[in-house]
């Protein structure tokens, strides 16, 4: 699973992604499908609350998205 990041100084991209995925705080962690659709915009919160257990739920979301 590749992890993409946005440079802190890339304000145009940060602004675009913040609007597209309704991001209000930074840092943020959003799970998206191969087409750029948000599967989960609460990943950071889930990671803080559940730790690595959050990955199981994300993998299920990805698997479900791949069958569509």
What DSSP string describes 4-43? ----TT-HHHHHHHHHHTT--SSS---EE-TTS-EEES-H
pTM of the predicted structure, to 2 decimals? 0.82
pLDDT score, position 37: 95
- Backbone dihedral angles phi then psi of residue 8, each to the nearest 5 degrees: -55, -35
Please indicate, yes or no, if residue 5 is contained in any of the structural domains.
Answer: no
pLDDT score, position 6: 87
Residues of the chain with pLDDT under 50: none
Number of structural domains (the chain) is 1
Please indicate, yes or no, if residue 6 is contained in any of the structural domains.
Answer: no
pLDDT score, position 5: 86
Q: Which domain holds residue 59?
A: 11-66
Number of residues that make up the chain: 68
């Amino acid at each position: 699973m590749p992890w993409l990041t946005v440079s802190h100084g890339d304000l145009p991209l940060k602004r675009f992604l913040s609007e597209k995925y309704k991001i209000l705080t930074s840092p943020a962690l959003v799970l998206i499908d191969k087409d750029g659709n948000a599967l989960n915009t609460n990943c950071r919160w889930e990671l803080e609350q559940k730790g690595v257990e959050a990955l199981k739920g994300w993998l299920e979301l990805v698997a479900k998205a791949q069958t569509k």
